[in-house]
């Protein structure tokens, strides 16, 4: 059967590509865990037992797995937002600011817009996406009209967004119903909340939203002319320009999509988990930066980013679990996470060490 | 070098090749693009490690992990693309890497100049050590590269396509230099496609094809015909271009001006026209405004003033997309800067500027089957050697990626094709192929604007020839009236005396 043969060939190619794409992150992960093991030894504990405990309490017990997936939700969406702009060659470090702005607007809309809850919730998400998109367009317009480096503007605009939202939850939007000490908005109406997917934990439909974003991302990058043009622009802007692509348009769409996706990360957190916006709930948790690490480790491949995000949040969940049960500092998980990112970025060195070996083997053969 | 094999994926770039070099000898390595010449030299210079095989130097087995190891064993390479620090002086460039020091710490500029002067005297290559490299013409820049290699005390010097960027006069000087170096006991390997240079300078010739060693013979026992036959595997026929009537103007450039950073114009009231059914050549030493002309014509750079009339409509200052839609395709002069992205797959490379055609996309959605079929057609029709469509553009040899770019732009079937350096660094077989495609385009009644620093290319293909010098059209010739001498004088800024 010819069709079956071609199907087999396609699968082989997919597996081969997957293997090539995964090798680097896997090696980095192993190195990262080894460094972590050294630190655990220094704390006077047995690394194997600690790791067993850590992975049990992040992936292998259902309750912890749900916690991991809940935490992964905003991280996955942030990774997709990062990937969207980085693939097109725009070093956007402002996912956090875009997420915070979008989320605040979504929350405010949900709190004050009258109407049937489900409809208001949908409008709130859309309003948040629009706000995130506008906030991401600001640095793009600066880059386009005045040639300002997007790395700097996006990074700085994070602070602007964080302080402005801080002001709003400290003064006009503060929930005064309880003791009035917490810097947070009132809760959104029950009818607007995303449904829980598990009766024993906080795991909610936000994760499904995250999966939809991944699917959307895969679709955009593989199937659309826009995805093709933005990818080529990321590879070689001169080539894209010479080919007649409208680069300003591609940049603006890319950044608008980035901001819109970023806002969904925060909206999922508000509508699925916290039901309110609290001061620095999205920045102190480093969702955007963990998402950035996931994007880099996975080499900006959407499906890769999805799994790496889950893995990193598993490390964080497992890290706090071993702190509770074994007294190992939570920072262990952060060390491992950072080491993995570092080891991924030292690709070049690994290649450099490998090559002379190949020569020696070659010499023996001949 | 014995049994040298280098495998990239499933491709044997170099398959069990042997190479020997005697002292004071000039060996020419010739072959088509992708024949494995460059790979072999990269292995010898330590830039690449062989998959298997051994290198012996004076009977000793060597392992070169990097060019440092090769340089330490007195092997030097003059790269095709110069690796020079442009804002620095000639002397600074020559000593870079092994600088003379004052008190063991401070750079000794005077010693550097003295060293350079001594080197110049020793080898009879004259150059002012205090001059800035960016002010030197290409020929002198290459001389700096050669002196740099000599300063590193190389006994074996590899020249990679050394004449690609030089004017005919500069080439002659280079060949003399090589002979002189060989007489002084240096051993030289020259990689080239230009067989008359081989005949002028080499002692021995080695032919490679498809990564394999084909044959080796003393120069005295071979001829240009035999070498080209061995390289390509078939005979190349001389081309006769029949005259052809033109029908109407396609491109009319009027008074085009592009202001430069100072008061001098980069393009200075430049006017030409190209008619349907003709190839118009623009000859000139590179750097006289050709690149900017191409960028103004294709919309990459807005001209300061003047008109670019394409099929009756002034397109000056319009976007690249608009100009492409109006019927202009372009083979860019720099294939890696404009022509492709090295990380892109062959499919992605092929569909650029075709992506809105109905067989490739509909309503913004890519048709991947259509894209695959389209790419395969280009790869097959233009004989691009590849290991599958998911191969990266940067992994193809220079000639093969050039063929793919030519294919992509030809396939636009546009009334105007701008072909800039369409055969730069490409081998004989591919040159013949690309030239035939350009002539086919002319036969179909389309207009071709050929911009090339290769005078023979311009002379053999063009119906009319303009010379560009310092941004001006310095002369116009019909094919019958053009001689290499007359063009050469205008290219160097001279004036023709009317008889």
Q: What is the C-alpha to C-alpha distance for residues B292 and B308, in angstroms, rounded to an integer?
A: 13
Least confident of A36-45, A75-84, A246-255, B98-107: B98-107
**Which distant-in-sequence residues (6+ apart) come within 8 Å of B240 by Cβ?**
none
What is the tens place of the pLDDT at every residue in B435-460? 999 999 999 999 999 998 778 888 88
pLDDT of amino acid B72: 85
Between B52, B343, B344, which is nearest A365 by CB? B52
User: Do B389 and B456 belong to one domain?
Assistant: yes
Q: Which of A18, A239, A250, A363 to substitute to test the interface with B, most B CBs within 10 Å?
A: A239
pLDDT in tens, B151-196: 888 888 998 888 766 766 778 888 888 888 888 888 999 988 777 7
**Percentage of the residues of chain A whose pLDDT score is greater than 90:** 64
CATH number of the domain residue B165 falls in: 3.40.50.300
Half-sphere exposure of A276 (CA within 13 A, CB side): 12
Closest by Cβ to B353, choosing from A227, A236, A243: A243
Contacts of B61 in chain A (CB under 8 A): 363
Domain-embedded: residue B240: no
**Predicted local confidence at residue A89, as pLDDT:** 92
Q: Which residue has the higher pLDDT, B27 or A346?
A: B27
Contacts A240 to B, Cβ<8 Å = 341, 352
pLDDT, tens digit (0-9, with 9 covering 90-100), for A272-310? 999 999 999 999 999 999 999 999 888 899 999 999 999
The residue ranges of every structural domain in chain A are 68-330
SS3 assignment, position A286: coil
Of the candidates B232, B266, B286, which is a domain's last residue? B232
Tell me, yes or no, whether B239 lies in a domain.
Answer: no
Q: Residue A16 has what pLDDT?
A: 64
Interface residue B65 vs chain A (CB under 8 A): yes
Q: Is the pLDDT of residue A2 over 50?
A: no
For residues A142 and A252, what is the distance between their CA atoms, to the nearest angstrom? Answer: 11
Inter-chain residue contact B63 with A356, CB threshold 8 Å: yes
Is B342 close to A235, i.e. CB distance below 8 A? yes
Cβ-defined contact of A246 to B321 (cutoff 8 Å): yes
Please say which residue of B232, B258, B278 terminates a domain: B232
pLDDT category, A20, cuts 50, 70, 90? Answer: low
**Interface contact B340-A236, CB threshold 8 A:** yes
Range A231-255 average pLDDT: 94
Beta-carbon separation of A228 and B65 below 8 A: no
306-345 of B, contacting A, C-beta below 8 A: 319-321, 323-325, 330, 332, 337-344
Confidence of residue A357 (pLDDT cuts 50, 70, 90): very low
| Residue whose tokens read 């706090």 | A320
Are B163 and B193 members of one domain?
yes
> Cα A158–A159–A162 angle (5° rounding)?
85
Q: Which domain holds residue B29?
A: 2-232
* pLDDT number for residue A152: 95
**CA pair distance B410, A18, nearest whole angstrom:** 35
- Same domain for B159 and B18: yes
What is the count of structural domains for chain B? 2
Per-residue pLDDT of chain B (499 residues; tens, 9 = 90+): 665 666 655 556 677 778 888 888 899 888 776 677 877 888 888 888 888 888 888 888 888 888 888 888 888 888 777 778 888 888 888 888 788 888 777 888 888 888 888 888 888 788 888 888 888 777 788 888 888 888 888 888 998 888 766 766 778 888 888 888 888 888 999 988 777 788 888 889 888 887 778 888 888 888 877 887 787 776 656 667 788 888 889 999 999 999 987 778 889 999 999 999 999 999 987 778 899 999 999 999 999 999 999 999 999 889 999 999 999 999 998 888 899 999 999 999 999 999 999 999 999 999 999 999 999 999 999 989 888 898 999 888 888 899 999 999 999 999 999 999 998 777 777 888 899 999 999 999 999 999 987 788 888 899 999 999 888 898 899 988 888 778 877 887 777 654 4
* Per-residue model confidence (pLDDT) at position B13: 64
- The whole-number average pLDDT for the span A248-255 is 95
Element (H, E) at B478: strand B472-478
For chain A, the 3-state helix, strand and coil shares in percent, each to the nearest 5, are 80, 0, 20
Q: Name residue, tokens 């620093």.
A: B453
d(CA A74, CA A294): 12
Is B274 in the same domain as B197?
no
Q: What is the rounded CA–CA span in Å between residue A356 and residue B120?
A: 37
- Of the candidates B344, B353, B364, which has its C-beta nearest A235's C-beta? B344
Task: Tell me whether residue B423 is in a domain.
Answer: yes
Q: What is the ipTM of this complex?
A: 0.81
Instruction: Classify A68-330 by CATH class.
Output: mainly alpha
Name which of A87, A244, A361 to mutate to probe chain B: the one with the most chain B Cβ atoms within 10 A of its Cβ.
A244
Chain A nearest CA to B63, separation (Å): 8
Q: Which of A13, A232, A363 sits opposite B341 (nearest CB)?
A: A232
Claim to verify: residue B50 and residue B99 sit in the same structural domain: yes
Residue B98 in contact with partner chain A when CB distance is under 8 A: no
Give B445: exposed, middle or buried? Use CB within 10 Å, 0-12, 13-18, 19+: middle
pLDDT at B119: 86
Token pair 């024949």 in the structure block, residue? B35
pLDDT digits (tens, 9 = 90+) for B274-301: 999 999 999 987 778 899 999 999 999 9
Which of B182, B197, B232 is a domain's end point?
B232
Residue B257 sits at the chain A interface (C-beta within 8 Å): no
Tokens read off for B7: 């495998």
Confidence of residue A251 (pLDDT cuts 50, 70, 90): very high
pTM: 0.76
Stretch among A218-222, A315-319, B77-81, B301-305 having the lowest mean pLDDT: B77-81
What the block records as the tokens of B231 is 């390289």
Q: Could you tell me if residue B28 is inside a domain?
A: yes
Closest by Cβ to A228, choosing from B50, B319, B366: B366
**Smallest CA–CA separation between B455 and chain A, in Å?**
26
Instruction: Output the pLDDT for position A336.
Output: 85
Q: Which among B47, B342, B366 is the top mutation candidate for probing chain A, defined by the most A β-carbons within 10 Å of its own β-carbon? A: B366
Query: Residue A242 pLDDT more than 70?
Result: yes
B245 domain residue, yes or no: no
Same domain for B268 and B379? yes
Q: What is the pLDDT of chain A when averaged over all its residues?
A: 87
Instruction: Provide residues of A within 8 Å CB-CB of chain B.
Output: 13, 17, 222-229, 231-232, 235-236, 238-246, 355-356, 358-360, 362-363, 365-366
Of B147, B153, B141, B170, residue with least CA distance to B82: B141
Same domain, B203 and B277: no
């Amino acid at each position: 059967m010819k069709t079956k043969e071609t199907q087999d060939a396609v699968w082989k190619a997919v597996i081969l590509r997957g293997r090539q794409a995964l090798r680097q992150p896997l090696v980095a992960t192993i190195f990262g865990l080894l460094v972590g093991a050294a630190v655990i030894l220094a704390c006077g504990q047995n690394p194997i037992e600690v790791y067993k405990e850590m992975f049990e309490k992040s992936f292998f017990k259902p309750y912890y797995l749900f916690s991991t997936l809940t935490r992964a939700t905003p991280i996955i969406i942030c990774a997709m937002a990062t990937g969207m702009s980085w693939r097109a060659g725009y070093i956007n470090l402002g996912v956090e600011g875009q997420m915070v702005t979008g989320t605040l607007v979504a929350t405010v809309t949900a709190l004050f817009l009258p109407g049937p809850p489900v409809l208001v919730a949908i409008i709130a998400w859309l309003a948040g996406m629009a706000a995130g998109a506008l906030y991401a367009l600001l640095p793009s317009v600066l880059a386009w009209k005045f040639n300002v480096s997007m790395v700097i503007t996006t990074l700085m605009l994070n602070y602007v967004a964080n302080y402005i939202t801080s002001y709003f939850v400290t003064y006009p939007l503060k929930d005064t119903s309880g003791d009035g000490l917490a810097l947070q908005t009132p809760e959104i109406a029950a009818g607007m909340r995303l449904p829980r997917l598990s009766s024993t934990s906080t795991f909610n439909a936000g994760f499904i939203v995250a999966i939809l974003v991944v699917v959307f991302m895969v679709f955009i990058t593989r199937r659309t002319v826009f995805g093709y043009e933005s990818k080529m622009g990321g590879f070689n802007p001169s080539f894209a320009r010479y080919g007649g692509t409208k680069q300003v348009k591609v940049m603006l769409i890319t950044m608008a999509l980035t901001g819109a996706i970023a806002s969904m990360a925060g909206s999922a957190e508000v509508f699925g988990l916290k039901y309110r916006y609290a001061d620095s709930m999205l920045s102190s948790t480093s969702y955007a930066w963990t998402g950035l690490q996931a994007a880099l480790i996975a080499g900006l491949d959407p499906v890769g980013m999805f799994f790496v995000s889950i893995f990193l949040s598993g490390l964080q969940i497992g890290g706090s679990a071993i702190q509770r049960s074994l007294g190992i500092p939570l920072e262990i998980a952060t060390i491992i996470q950072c080491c993995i990112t570092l080891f991924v970025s030292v690709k070049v060195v690994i290649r450099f060490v490998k090559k002379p070996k190949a020569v020696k083997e070659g010499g023996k053969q001949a | 070098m014995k049994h040298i094999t280098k495998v990239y994926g499933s491709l044997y770039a170099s398959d069990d090749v042997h190479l020997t070099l005697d002292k004071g000898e000039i060996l020419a390595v010739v072959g088509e693009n992708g024949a494995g010449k460059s790979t072999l030299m990269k292995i010898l210079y330590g830039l690449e490690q062989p998959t298997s095989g051994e290198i012996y130097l004076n009977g000793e087995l060597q392992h070169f992990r990097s060019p440092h190891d090769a340089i330490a064993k007195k092997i030097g390479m003059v790269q095709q693309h110069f690796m020079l620090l442009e804002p620095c002086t000639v002397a600074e460039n020559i000593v870079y890497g092994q600088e003379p020091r004052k008190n063991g710490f401070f750079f000794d500029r005077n010693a550097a100049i003295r060293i350079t002067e001594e080197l110049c005297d020793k080898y009879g290559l004259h150059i002012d050590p205090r001059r800035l490299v960016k002010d030197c013409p290409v020929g002198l820049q290459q001389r700096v590269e050669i002196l740099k290699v000599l300063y590193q005390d190389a006994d074996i010097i590899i020249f990679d396509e050394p004449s690609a960027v030089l004017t005919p006069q500069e080439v002659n000087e280079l060949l003399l230099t090589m002979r002189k170096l060989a007489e002084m006991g240096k051993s030289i390997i020259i990689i080239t496609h230009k067989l008359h240079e081989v005949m002028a300078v080499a002692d021995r010739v080695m032919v490679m094809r498809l990564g394999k060693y084909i044959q080796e013979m003393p120069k005295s026992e071979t001829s240009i015909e035999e070498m080209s036959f061995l390289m390509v595997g078939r005979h190349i026929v001389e081309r006769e271009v029949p005259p052809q009537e033109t029908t109407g103007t396609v491109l009319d450039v009027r008074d085009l001006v592009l202001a430069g950073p100072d008061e001098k114009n980069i393009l200075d009231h430049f006017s030409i026209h190209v008619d349907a059914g003709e190839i118009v050549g623009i000859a000139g030493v590179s750097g006289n405004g050709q690149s900017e002309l191409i960028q103004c014509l294709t919309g990459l750079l807005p001209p300061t003033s003047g008109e670019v009339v394409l099929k009756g409509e002034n397109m000056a200052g319009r976007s690249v997309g608009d100009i492409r839609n109006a019927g202009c395709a372009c083979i860019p002069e720099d294939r890696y800067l404009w022509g492709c992205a090295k990380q892109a797959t062959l499919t992605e490379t092929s569909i650029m500027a075709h992506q809105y055609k109905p067989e490739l996309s509909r309503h913004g959605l890519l048709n991947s089957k259509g894209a695959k079929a389209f790419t395969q057609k280009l790869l097959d029709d233009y004989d691009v050697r590849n290991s599958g469509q998911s191969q990266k553009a940067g992994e193809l040899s220079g000639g093969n990626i050039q063929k793919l770019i030519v294919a992509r732009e030809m396939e636009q079937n546009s009334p105007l094709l701008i072909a800039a350096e369409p055969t730069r660094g490409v081998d004989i077989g591919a040159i013949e192929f690309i030239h035939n495609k350009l002539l086919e385009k002319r036969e179909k009644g389309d207009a071709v604007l050929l911009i090339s620093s290769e005078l023979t290319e311009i002379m053999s293909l063009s119906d009319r020839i303009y010379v560009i010098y310092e941004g001006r059209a310095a002369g116009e010739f019909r094919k019958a009236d053009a001689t290499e001498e007359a063009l050469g004088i205008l290219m160097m800024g001279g004036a023709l005396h009317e008889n």
